[in-house]
Every structure is written in structure tokens, then in C-alpha cells.
Amino acid sequence: MSHSPIRKDKTCLNCRHVVEQKFCPNCGQENTDTRKTFHHLFIHFFEDLTHYENAFWKTIKNLLLKPATLTKEYLSGKRLSYLAPVRLYIFISFVTFLLIALFPNNVTENLTKDDKEITSNFENANKKEKGWKEKSYIKSKTLDKSYFQLKTMKEIDSIQKYGKEDEKLSDFQYWIYEKATHVTEKNTKKEIIEKFIESFIHNIPKILFIIMPFFAFFLWIFHGKKRWYYFDHGIFTLHYFSFLLLIFLVLFIINKIGGLFAENGLADAIVGIINFVGIVWMCYYFYPAHHRFYGETRFVSFVKSVILFFINFFFILFLLTFYMLYIFINLH
């Protein structure tokens, strides 16, 4: 509790209500002196942080180990002891994507190594066939473009004009091919994948926000409309997606730490086991959460969980495929 002196003026600075005691009965603001020393500021910060930590760690523990507990507690009215669903999701999202931005994946590093190896092998072959002179004209973009095996637009236009009907592209296919050709001419394979990964990671929050209402909608379809409101399914969805993000965050951190001991067999084994357990728990979690929250029999809950899993899986796959295509054709 704050030890700041109580103001002699009994008028609340926030709502102008009369304050007889320490806290305003109308808005809850503490009626203490607003001009505080650094000591008071530090103590106040520590008290707020401690209170937040208690609620935070209690929330995280229940989210990870007790499926649907947070949702049931929230909807029953017990809300002060835990972080609010939206605040929880935003906090985990922020930490997750901040760490991803600070510690990017090793995909591009591996690509660089592969490109060097391909370039080296390609150059060695050319030394034998064409000699040292032609070796200097070998470009990485040529190698990368051959990887995609795309025809030039001149070849495509020739097919469109003189080719057989079954070889010609539709207007949509032609537009996609033209975009793809433009991208491969302007970027190497490594650059394309780097830009794609960067764009995908930065837009994951948007993708998840698009998926969540649909996820809640599918839950609404499969459950009684009189007993459950869409709001209830929305809270369940927020907690479930918070769990998925949190597991992803934990595994990401563990893999980064494990990367510091890459040549240690024991460390690799421990990281592998943790990854396996985390992925299994991530896949299994929805069933007990669904069973405990909706209160249906285990068999009915299992059947619905499996159906909902596949519906959402194919929906997310479709959405991600569409989004990948969108990112690819908009690369510069």
C-alpha cells in the first residue's frame, strides 16, 4: 500500500467527488498528494509490478497447465486475480514478436551456406568445361533463377500467340506468371525468401486476428446457441491462441538457448525432447480445454475437437496459402 500523505482537500482530483477516506468512493482514485519524491515513485512502481507479477504468473500457470480454467474463471466473474484475456494475448504477442525480431531465425544463414556450396560446385563444373574466363560471369541471380525454372515472358508470349490451346495460360495464370517472373528477375532466391520471412513474421498478428473470429464462429456453430453466446467462444479462443503463442515463445527461447550449445550432444537431446513434448501438448491441449469448458462427454468432446481441428486446419492452410501468394506477388 502507498504511504503518501493524504490530501487535506476532500475533493477528488479525478472526478471532483467528496472523499471522506483514503480512496474516492466514486472512481476509486487514491486521494494522496500528487507531488511525490523519487522514493515514493520507486515504491509505487515496485508495488504495481509486484501486484502485476502475482496476477501474471498465476495466469501463465493456469494457461499452460490447466486448460480452460482461465476461461471458466473469467466468465464466472473471477477476474481481478488474472490478466484480462485481451491484455494477456496482447502481452504475449508483443513479447513473442519482439524476441523474433531481436533473434531472427537461422533460415537465411542456412540459405547463404547452401548458396555458397551451389555456387562453388557450379563454378568448378564451369572451370572444366569453359575455362577460367567464363567463370567470372557467373551470377548468383542466374543460379537462383534456374532454381525456379521459369520461362521468360518472351517465351510465354510466344506460347500465348502461337502455341496450342492446351499450352496457353488463362488471364489469371498469365498475370501470376508475369508477377513471378518479375520477382525472380529482380531478386535472388535468398532475397526472395528473406523478404518473405520478414513480411510473414511482421504480419503474423494480423493473420491471427483474422483467424480468431472465424475460430470462435466455428465453435459457435458446434454448440448450443441458447447456452453459449459468441462472446463465450471468443474468450475461449483468446485464451487458446494465447496458449499457442506462449508455447511457441517458450520453444523459441529454448531453441535459441540450445543453439549456444550446438555441439553438445546432451543439450541437443534435451532440446529435442522439450520440442517434442511441447508440440504434443500443443496438439493435444484443445481436447481437454474443450471438454472442461463445454462440459460435454469425453466422446462427444473428442469427436467435436477432431472435427474442429481439421476444419480450422484447412481454413488456416487456405488463408496462409492465399497470404503467401499475396506476399510473393507483391515483393519488389
Residue type, 268: D
pLDDT tens for residues 89-147? Answer: 988 888 888 887 787 655 444 444 444 444 455 445 444 544 444 444 444 444 444 44
Give the chain's mean pLDDT: 77
Residue type, 146: S
pLDDT tens for residues 14-24? Answer: 888 788 777 88
Cα separation of 119 and 189, whole Å? Answer: 13
Cell digits of residue 254: 529454448
Instruction: Give the model's pLDDT for residue 45.
Output: 59
Instruction: Give the model's pLDDT for residue 43.
Output: 59
Provide the β-strand partners of residue 23.
30
Name the strand (E) or helix (H) holding 144: helix 140-148
Strand intervals (E) in the chain: none
Contact 248, 96 (CB under 8 A): yes
Q: Which burial class, exposed, middle or buried, applies to 271 when counting CB atoms under 10 A from its CB (0-12, 13-18, 19+)? A: buried
Contact 267, 282 (CB under 8 A): no
Cell digits of residue 243: 496458449
pLDDT tens for residues 225-253? Answer: 888 999 999 999 999 999 998 998 899 88
Cell digits of residue 247: 508455447
Contact 247, 278 (CB under 8 A): yes
Residue 311's closest CA among 184, 185, 214, 174? Answer: 214
Cell digits of residue 182: 518479375
What would the mean pLDDT of 177-201 be, rounded to a whole number?
72
* More confidently predicted of 127 and 82: 82
How sure is the predictor about 281, in pLDDT bands with cuts at 50, 70 and 90?
A: very high
Residue type, 2: S
Sequence-ordered list of residues with C-beta below 8 angstroms from that of 193, at least 6 positions apart, any chain: 107, 108, 111
Cα separation of 138 and 116, whole Å? Answer: 13
Cα separation of 146 and 4, whole Å? Answer: 72
Sequence-ordered list of residues with C-beta below 8 angstroms from that of 6, at least 6 positions apart, any chain: 22, 31, 32, 33
Cell digits of residue 181: 517472373
Residue 188 has pLDDT above 70, yes or no: yes
SS3 163: coil
